[in-house]
Amino acid sequence: MTTDVRTPPAWRGATARWFYLAAALTVLVVVVYGFSQTVGDSLIHPKIARPPILYVHAAVMSAWVILFIAQVALVRLKRTRWHRRLGLAGLALGAAIPIVGAPTAIVMRRFDIDHLHDTLPFIAVPFGDLVMFLGFFVPAALLRRRPEWHRRLMFLATCVLINAGLGRFPLPDAWFNAGWMYFGIDALALTGAAADLFTRSRLHPVYLIGLPLLAACQLGVWLLWHDPPAAWLALMRSMVGAG
């Protein structure tokens, strides 16, 4: 007699139904914990007043995390009509992220250089986050009528945005300088690929294409941060006005 040791279909279905909600809540935990380490000194009671745009940026990013969780929960509850209606707000909010994020990166890099004696090359990190976010958000918006593509692309776009939260974890500076945040992002993104393998026995093209592109972009950003070409630094210096 042989025993079928394959995963029961019921478990596969449960994994498929609950994975994205669990992932969305993981994003929330990472962001809340990371920013809890600095929000008091940086936003609520700063010794040096922060530029107003930082508060706008914080509000936009917080709204995105909340909206992402709400959208995933609506799908889980099979409230697809509400999901589509709220999706219009999601498109507007996603478009606002780079519109607010780019000037915030410039203004805050100038602030950190002037007041915290930070260095210019780190600006590659927030700019890189915006580029990677757009790389997933734009096709997600265009493919919103194809749910299997849309939800995976939105998930990867949101994974990119936890970079700032991970970067505030109370870990040694050497880990931060090594870009450990990208390993955290990749670990979360890989859970999506693992869920695909578990529930579908194959990877969706979003992961087949998106994960290698994500890793390549992260490597490029890390190089711009740690070994920036002179032309790049000159361009950034002209934009920031410091460094």
DSSP string, 1-44: -----SPPHHHHHHHHHHHHHHHHHHHHHHHHHHHHTTHIIIII
Integer angstrom CA distances of residue 128 from 8, 44, 74, 169, 225: 41, 27, 30, 20, 10
| 10: pLDDT strictly greater than 80 | no
Mind listing the pLDDT tens digit for each residue in 122-140?
999 999 999 999 999 999 9
| 173: pLDDT strictly greater than 80 | yes
| 17: pLDDT strictly greater than 90 | no
Q: What is the pLDDT of residue 13?
A: 55
| 116: pLDDT strictly greater than 90 | no
In this prediction, residue 188 has a pLDDT band, given cuts at 50, 70 and 90, of very high
Eight-class DSSP state of 123: G
- Rounded distance between C-alpha atoms, residue 100 and residue 107, angstroms: 11
| 180: pLDDT strictly greater than 70 | yes
Average pLDDT, the chain: 91
Q: What are the domain boundaries of the chain?
A: 12-240
Question: 233, exposed or middle or buried, with CB in 10 Å at 0-12, 13-18, 19+?
Answer: middle
Stretch 194-200: mean pLDDT: 90
Stretch 106-132: mean pLDDT: 95
Mind listing the pLDDT tens digit for each residue in 72-98?
999 888 898 899 999 999 999 999 999
Q: What is the pLDDT of residue 186?
A: 97
User: Contact 225/119 with Cβ under 8 angstroms?
Assistant: no
| 6: pLDDT strictly greater than 60 | no
Query: Which one, of 128, 143, 145, 148, lies nearest residue 213 by Cα?
Result: 128
| 7: pLDDT strictly greater than 70 | no
